[in-house]
Structure 1
């Protein structure tokens, strides 16, 4: 059984996108490695902010796309997550909140910025009390899905399902 402190940012994201995808991923069925859309997203992230240190892996739970070199004048570190589109922006926000929560538990004060380079947009994320409560609820939901014996049912087909690496496991 996984506790709320041993999840990955990807798992938080997948809960919002599709609980079935979360369950499959968490049970060792990883379809992303060869997926064209995933590879395109990685290329956007790697090619957009070329001067920044990429993919900072923390305890194999959190992989931050990049962080500012030094904390700001307020002593708060800014971490960045690069995303292709806003199609699942709630999932992006909760993933970032999880990263901020993880860093806070390590004693690091941080804020998050979600960068959408193709849209030329940014969203700043802070882990305040309401956001922490929302994240706590999401962590409980992730735990329920991940620790379930059976996968959740497939969703009624959504517009983004056809682009999902797990599409064939649900609809073919």
Structure 2
């Protein structure tokens, strides 16, 4: 799916109609599909990482759950939506591909870091023999990745320094 560049319009929204996505992608349509109209990203993707965190958090109390964590596989944004039952999955993939490059670059960078940590921890869990070691690996990985999920959510929701300042000033 190749998309044309989106054009900024007033209020920092994007003109999705002019993106030639082949979808009725007005800001209202995107919002109704739980896709942020400013960024073109959907928070549903973060469920993939929240699942990994949930499994990691089970390991200290239920050591055999490490095997479930090892079954978790990193998925790209498009792979996640293609495999999901997300109602607007085709629109989510098209909006991601048409998202502003600066947003995608920042988002893809944090996603790559999360995937690297989770993959590295999985590799380590495959080699260690002691439940206590797996528990420590799981706890540390969860501590590293949880804030990254929050950062990714901020990117998806269009939070940046200026919008944070505007939000504070509006109070």
- TM-score of the superposed pair, with normalisation by structure 1: 0.24
Question: Which structure features the higher share of strand residues?
Answer: 1
Question: Which structure features the higher share of helix residues?
Answer: 2
- TM-score of the superposed pair, with normalisation by structure 2: 0.24
